[in-house]
Amino acid sequence: MRNRHRHSTQRIDSLRLTIDCLPTTTREAMLEGLRANERIIVGAYVDDHGGVCPMLAAHRCGGRTDFLAFAKSWDRFTRVKGASRPASARELGILIRLLESSLEGEGSASDLAGAIAEHRQLRDRDAPGGRLLGEDGDPRGTIAARRLLRRAGRLLPGRHAVEEDLERVPVTGSV
């Protein structure tokens, strides 16, 4: 029984990750489409009875995204085999909850972006030796470089201990 639970969790986690990769407008449109359509199906894009998949429902509500990974993840989650069928109330409930939680998490993503920007400013200000880093993260000024000539405590063949001294190489522009 334990293995079965783990596999079920993996399918839900995969669907959650795929939903988080969708653009915000598509997630909002999919949620609107799921609530507006009476017949959501699994295993096909449309069926003969007017049923639509969640991605088509999103498309009809303005979420113009083609994301094949969602369709595959949705079909894996619903364990569809062969012909299409209507999605169960449980499957739709889980999909709606995942979409809602993903949209609620959008605020924390902007907080994370702000924290990353603040960290980069502090890192650039407190760079070693008082040197600031450039926009691309490359240090400016002279870089001390040393060739690694020893392997496992021995000099490489044909090398002398004198070559181990540091070389000062001025850095100008990009490499």
Query: How many separate domains does the chain show?
Result: 2
Same domain for 64 and 137, yes or no, is no
Same domain for 17 and 86, yes or no, is yes
Q: One digit per residue, pLDDT tens: the chain, 175 residues?
A: 555 555 568 889 999 999 998 988 999 999 999 998 888 999 888 888 888 999 999 998 888 888 888 989 999 999 998 888 999 999 999 999 999 999 987 765 556 777 788 888 887 776 555 445 555 666 666 667 766 666 655 655 555 554 444 454 555 555 4
User: Has residue 120 been placed in a domain?
Assistant: no
User: Has residue 44 been placed in a domain?
Assistant: yes
Question: Whole-model pTM?
Answer: 0.58
Domain span at 157: 130-175
User: Has residue 134 been placed in a domain?
Assistant: yes
The residues that bridge with 46 in the sheet, in sequence order, are 52
